[in-house]
Amino acid sequence: MRKLDTKQLILASHNAGKLAEISQLIEPYGFTITSVAERGLPEPEENGTTFEQNAYTKAFAAAQATGLVALSDDSGLCVSALDGQPGVYTADWAEKQDGSGRDFALAMEKVERGLAEAGAVRSEDRQGYFCAVLCLCWPDGHAEYFRGEAHGELVWPPRGDRGFGYDPVFLPTGHERTFGEMSAEEKHSWQPGSGDGLSHRARAFAKFAQACLG
């Protein structure tokens, strides 16, 4: 495991929600962070079939372009009754037909239609999980991966206007409120040294912090 010996990172993401969450999770360690979006760098084509492959594509492109160690995140929602979909295509499910951007309200409706078509009515038939894979990549191409999952149930209609993406329809196991109803602090429920956290991203970050930050 290669140790991280710099306090300056480039975040390989154009997703404002991810940037906000990762910045919040890494802030206690005193990092100076900029994003590829702030530097005007393009998004590389993500054509991998796993979260790890897509995370590496983004991180390596950012590291090569800037000469900095890059941190990326590839994440998605995997629904059991939909054979693991949308999975790595989670963001694609939100693409508008006219190509004008993403609409996660439409994406959540698509998931619900799929569940209805599958006859997934009972709670046990509506299980799924969020997965997040962090990739830390150096300019020489060396990479470390950290995976976190948060399991729960897909509810309908959406509940809450916090978070982003599919958060309003995801009810984490053991809780009565969706990610969309939780504050960022409650959703992550993690601070350095305090355990694994609740969200998939917090759990991935806990592994990252333990391995690379000491």
Question: Phi, psi at residue 189, to the nearest 5°?
Answer: 50, 45
**Is residue 74 annotated as part of the catalytic site, yes or no?**
yes
Catalytic residue, chosen from 5, 74, 98, 140, is 74
- Report how far residue 61's alpha carbon sits from residue 183's, in angstroms, rounded to the nearest whole number: 32
Using CA atoms in the order 50, 53, 56, 61, what is the torsion angle rounded to 10 degrees? -120
Query: Catalytic positions, please?
Result: 74
